[in-house]
Amino acid sequence: MAAMENAEQGLVDQWRDLLGVHARTVSELDRALHQHGLCASDFEVLDVLAGCAASDGAGAYRVQEIADRVHLSQSALSRLIGRLEKDGLVERCMCPQDRRGVRVSLTPKGRTLHGDVRPVQRAVLGRMLADGPGG
């Protein structure tokens, strides 16, 4: 029984560590990206779209596909894309095969911004994930 309680305690400690790293990293990310007008979720989506490797829109993702890669609800993602579109960072275009669907792709401006911001994000990850819980 005592061993079981210890195992549970280890689990709880593991979870607290994870919460701590997550909170600190998201916070740092938000702070670092804020001066570029982005938050952590925004960058996640831009990063997914940049990984799509198509500047002409042919490789654009469907909203559903983005939702599979970031941890947001469909509605939150829809609005987030709306904000990025309003800022001129992404483009929505109707999917001709399935006209319910929407294809989302980076604009040149979005691609440029992603290129600028990526090193910043990578640097934050390096600091926060490597340094350990000491932060």
Q: By CB under 8 A, tell whether 131 contacts a copy of itself.
A: no
Q: Minimal distance in Å, beta carbon 3 to a copy of itself?
A: 14
Selected from 6, 12, 101, 112, the binder of a copy of itself by CB under 8 A is 12
Residue 90 phi/psi, 5-degree rounding, is -135, 165
The answer to whether 31 and 126 have CB atoms below 8 angstroms apart is: no
E-strand ranges in the chain read 61-62, 90-94, 102-106
Residue 20 phi/psi, 5-degree rounding, is -65, -50
Q: By CB under 8 A, tell whether 76 contacts a copy of itself.
A: no
Selected from 1, 6, 22, 36, the binder of a copy of itself by CB under 8 A is 22
The site for a copy of itself (CB under 8 A) is made up of 8, 11-12, 14-15, 18-25, 44, 71, 122, 125-126, 129-130
